[in-house]
Amino acid sequence: MNRRTLLATLSGAALQLQAQKRDMIIHNSRQEGYEMPLAGFKDYITPVEHFFVRSHHLTPKIELDSWKLEVKGHVDGALTLSMADLKAMKPVEMVAVLECAGNGRGFYEPSMPGLQWEHGSVGNARWRGVRLADVLKRVGVKPGAKHVLFDGADVPVGTQPEFQRTIPIEKAMDPNTLLAFDMNGAALPASHGFPLRVIAPGWAGDSWVKWVTRIEVLDKEFEGFFMKTGYRHPGKGMQPGVPVKPEEMKPVEAIQVKSVIASIGPKVSGAAWAGEKAVATVEVSVDRGRSWKAAKITSPRTPFGWVTWEFDWQPPSGYYVVMARAHDTWGRTQPMAQEWNPSGYQWNAIHQVASVTAPVAQAPAIEPPAVYKATCVGCHDEGPVRKQRLSRAQWEAEVGKMQRWGAPVKPETKDELLNYLTSRFGYRHR
Ligand code: HEC
């Protein structure tokens, strides 16, 4: 373990303790994956301790004195900027929703690998920084520029490819796209990208690169793993099991119109957002979708932030189901049942809360074989494995991926490993 990795590990552990204090759902404490509980949808501005975290690599510990931002590529003159240089520029403040592309993945049937987020990999914060376009104007973008690449100081484990993302030049030059140094009135916390992250309002979190140290203007598409393989979707519902041709997949960009119920009594309350468009109305149904009544918006409305809402209703003593749906200013609304896509992105089916939920039987506990602990715990903890519910074929593909990223899988124990993974973390037992 080199010094950089060690420091990264330590800061991850510190954040875990902080997160546990506020009841976060912990998916992984190494590559930090913390989910906000439903109660968080009552807040207009999500406090940092409650704000979800999703990191692909280990969190770097960055000293501001040695941090620099390189801006280069297809430009007239490359520049290296310090935080003081950025802070001398015109500041911009914005309330915006950050939502993980995989928020809701845990609800898809059939299930697929990936962190099994339920509702809470989303939050609403006040960001402060400078316009990316202002920084790009300083270096002079040459004609023919197509994409802008962001690279962060985070540290991959094993041979996992580096998390690098590009956004199209039009989104980069949009006056709402920022490079932020503050979150909710203070410097960005380490887990949220200190000292600088991208704010791509209306777009999913994969474009909001953290710990940015390099911005590169490209005159062609970027070939990196997290653009060409990760974070792509067909943009429409697919039949499970039918392979999608790579040319039919495109990068995940705008997030969907969506509302989530935070609590039922004494009032029904929640939050709603709509990506690049604004929420027009939020409606609640207490008769299983036969009729819908408008909820009251209880927060300010901003172009990219979420709204909080309330609805007067007293739950009866017996069984009930409450549903909420949002409409946006484009006239889009949420589906009653979700269409399926291969990586489980952009879940936005209508949220339903019932007074009693059907119990889901736990798979029987099985003693893990030694080969499991020796092969699968280390680069990450057990969190990402434990929440999966995959078929044997899916586990075989997943173990193959881990092997390519450095997991020491041996042919003679692979069967034992797959037997365990499939029986312990297989399809949900109903
Ligand atoms: C060499 C390091 C390494 C080892 C060893 C390892 N993994 Fe992983 N694993 C990773 C990385 C890196 C990720 C992705 C982290 C992220 O993006 O959040 C990951 C993510 C996962 C995920 C989440 C879904 C996904 O594909 O991102 C599952 C499930 C998983 N690993 C299962 C396993 C199993 C089962 C084993 C044992 C065969 C294993 N891992 C061993 C590096 C490793």
- pLDDT confidence of 236, banded at 50, 70, 90? confident
Cα 190 from Cα 11, distance rounded (Å):
8
Q: Please report the atom of ligand 1 found closest to the CA of residue 399.
A: 38
> Ramachandran region of residue 185, left (φ > 0), alpha (ψ -120 to 50) or beta?
left
Separation of 391 CA from ligand 1 center, angstroms? 17
C-alpha distances out from residue 71 to 81, 132, 188, 191, 342, Å: 8, 11, 21, 23, 35
Q: Is 388's C-beta closer than 6 angstroms to any atom of ligand 1?
A: yes
201-227 pLDDT, tens digit per residue, is 999 999 999 999 999 999 998 888 888
Provide the greatest CA pair distance for the chain.
69
Separation of 225 CA from ligand 1 center, angstroms? 15
- pLDDT confidence of 379, banded at 50, 70, 90? very high
| Closest CA relative to residue 310, chosen from 96, 97, 20, 41 | 41
Cα 429 from Cα 224, distance rounded (Å):
38
161: buried, middle or exposed (CB in 10 Å: 19+, 13-18, 0-12)? middle
Separation of 298 CA from ligand 1 center, angstroms? 41
278-299 pLDDT, tens digit per residue, is 999 999 999 999 999 999 999 9
For residue 2, the model assigns a pLDDT of 45
C-alpha distances out from residue 194 to 88, 110, 350, 369, 408, Å: 18, 37, 35, 40, 33
CB 264 within 8 A of CB 322: yes
| Closest CA relative to residue 311, chosen from 299, 324, 326, 327 | 324
Cα 319 from Cα 315, distance rounded (Å):
9
What's the whole-number mean pLDDT along residues 264-272? Answer: 94
Q: Is 53's C-beta closer than 6 angstroms to any atom of ligand 1?
A: no
Residue written as tokens 């140094």?
Answer: 181
Which residue's CA is minimally distant from atom 42 of ligand 1? Answer: 379
Cα 126 from Cα 58, distance rounded (Å):
25
Range 282-286 contact pairs with CB under 8 angstroms and sequence separation of 24 or more: 282/307, 282/309, 282/324, 282/325, 282/326, 282/327, 283/324, 283/325, 283/326, 283/327, 284/311, 284/313, 284/322, 284/323, 284/324, 285/322, 285/323, 285/324, 285/325, 286/313, 286/320, 286/321, 286/322, 286/323
Separation of 148 CA from ligand 1 center, angstroms? 28
The percent of residues above 90 in pLDDT, for the chain, comes to: 79
Q: Is 406's C-beta closer than 6 angstroms to any atom of ligand 1?
A: yes
- pLDDT confidence of 369, banded at 50, 70, 90? very high
* Backbone angles phi and psi of 194, in degrees to 5: -45, 135
- pLDDT confidence of 300, banded at 50, 70, 90? very high
CB 418 within 8 A of CB 146: no
- pLDDT confidence of 229, banded at 50, 70, 90? confident
Q: Is 147's C-beta closer than 6 angstroms to any atom of ligand 1?
A: no
149-171 pLDDT, tens digit per residue, is 999 999 899 999 899 999 999 99
Q: Is 340's C-beta closer than 6 angstroms to any atom of ligand 1?
A: no
What's the whole-number mean pLDDT along residues 123-136? Answer: 98
CB 76 within 8 A of CB 144: no
What's the whole-number mean pLDDT along residues 104-114? Answer: 94
What's the whole-number mean pLDDT along residues 41-46? Answer: 98
Amino acid identity of residue 37, one-letter, is P
What's the whole-number mean pLDDT along residues 318-335? Answer: 96
What's the whole-number mean pLDDT along residues 87-115? Answer: 96
Q: In whole angstroms, what separates CA 173 from the centre of its chain? A: 23
Q: Please report the atom of ligand 1 found closest to the CA of residue 114.
A: 24
402, 415, 425, best to mutate for ligand 1 pocket (most atoms within 8 Å of CB): 402
| Closest CA relative to residue 115, chosen from 27, 200, 245, 177 | 27
What's the whole-number mean pLDDT along residues 24-47? Answer: 96
C-alpha distances out from residue 240 to 124, 342, 389, Å: 32, 7, 15
**Rg of the chain in Å (alpha carbons):** 22
- pLDDT confidence of 10, banded at 50, 70, 90? very low
Structure tokens at 217: 């203007």
Q: Please report the atom of ligand 1 found closest to the CA of residue 388.
A: 29
Cα 148 from Cα 216, distance rounded (Å):
6
CB 338 within 8 A of CB 349: yes
The percent of residues above 70 in pLDDT, for the chain, comes to: 93
